[in-house]
Amino acid sequence: FAAFRDLDAGDWIGATGEVIATKRGELSVRISQFELLQKSLRPLPDKWHGLKDVEQRSRRRYLDLLANEDARAVALTRARIVSELRTQFERRGYVEVETPVLLPEATGAIAKPFTTSHNALEMEMSLRIATELYLKRLVVGGIEKVFEIGRIFRNEGIDSTHNPEFTMLESYEAFADYNDIMVLVEEIIAACAIAATGGTEITYDGRAIDLSGPYRRATMLELTQEAVDKDIDYDTSLAELGSLARTHGIEPEDHWGSGKLIEMLFDELVEETLWQPTYVTEHPIETSPLARIHRDKPHVTERFELIIAGDEYANAFSELNDPFDQRARFEFQAEAKAAGDEEAHPIDEDYIRALEYGLPPTGGLGIGVDRLVMLLTDKHHIREVILFPTMRPESAEE
């Protein structure tokens, strides 16, 4: 045993010997010789208590993985979930592709981008905020079922469900609409739950959730009317909706229309109350610049968000494929941007040109992979499911 005196927890050794079983039946090696492969110069966290400081766990993920079995389990479960997502789409005939991360202008979502500059081209560029418009260009090009699992970047706040760099799955299917996508989402979420937990009934934050489907469906307007106990709609005056918003602690901005006000009331009063899986449907045109107008209702779109445990897990719609309507929506967004809305969608002339060649009726979907992993591992901060989350640099290295 004298040879082991200079070894510390964390040292790597190479050993030769006889494989045996201990009296307790544990597989072991009776070492006849060994050599030191690498010395650990820093003491490892106590193996019984692990690394407990939440911030240090996120900053030193390598130590977190060494010290905490739960951290390793989450990382491996995430890998299974991503693998299952890919399998589900490939089985259905979707083609996986890669689209640009560095863009002349960030499009495809209502969000604030990160900006940078390209020295050789001498131009400003942005990191992508979505993959949507490039994927729909591929549908125009004849790839009728397409998906991408990729990193998205949004220059926005950091909280328990938001990280500036995150993973999104987006898919597009020609000759499908948002009703078809609802069925697809139920099947995919259930399959991921089985891959991660062994079943479709899970526990999150101490409460049961049934992911088997079919999921409840309710319109945004109906849910908001119920919450405010008033018979409002998209024709209600801006003055009345603005007053109602202020009553509930929302300070309207000058460029908000009736659709934005109703959506803000929904976000403030309803979203967190939806625990079991719920498709919130028929979002206003004003906040859905890429979604098709509802076939029967002129003020809303064929769009849904999947809300579970008070958070959004999927966003989908029948895609807007009319280039004239799309240009008008982009121009409305440009006016909002000029009025101070930093998240408004810019005009993408090349995308409109692609639509002019003909986008077939298409159903599109986006699933937040990190949030899905949170749900299926019962984690309550996005940093717990991202191996290396975005954090402020330390003032000095320890």
Is 176 part of a structural domain of the chain?
yes
Task: Give the domain extent around 172.
Answer: 64-215+276-384
Q: What local confidence, expressed as pLDDT, does residue 337 receive?
A: 79
The answer to whether residues 16 and 107 belong to one domain is no
Q: Give every CB contact of residue 109 below 8 A, 6+ residues apart in sequence.
A: 129, 130, 132, 154, 345
CATH of the domain at 326: 3.30.930.10
The answer to whether residues 38 and 69 belong to one domain is no
Q: Which helix (H) or strand (E) holds 350?
A: helix 349-356
Q: What is the pLDDT of residues 235-244, one digit of tens each?
A: 999 999 999 9
Q: What is the pLDDT of residues 133-162, one digit of tens each?
A: 999 999 999 999 999 999 999 999 899 999
The answer to whether residues 113 and 143 belong to one domain is yes
Helices in 292-348 by DSSP H: which ranges? 323-338
Q: What local confidence, expressed as pLDDT, does residue 4 receive?
A: 82
Cis peptide before 214 (omega within 30 of 0): yes
Q: What is the pLDDT of residues 86-135, one digit of tens each?
A: 999 999 999 999 999 999 988 888 889 999 999 999 999 999 999 999 99
Q: What local confidence, expressed as pLDDT, does residue 205 receive?
A: 97
Average pLDDT on 367-382 reads 98
The answer to whether residues 14 and 87 belong to one domain is no
Is 172 part of a structural domain of the chain?
yes
Number of domains in the chain: 2
The answer to whether residues 28 and 95 belong to one domain is no
CA pair distance 31, 357, nearest whole angstrom: 71
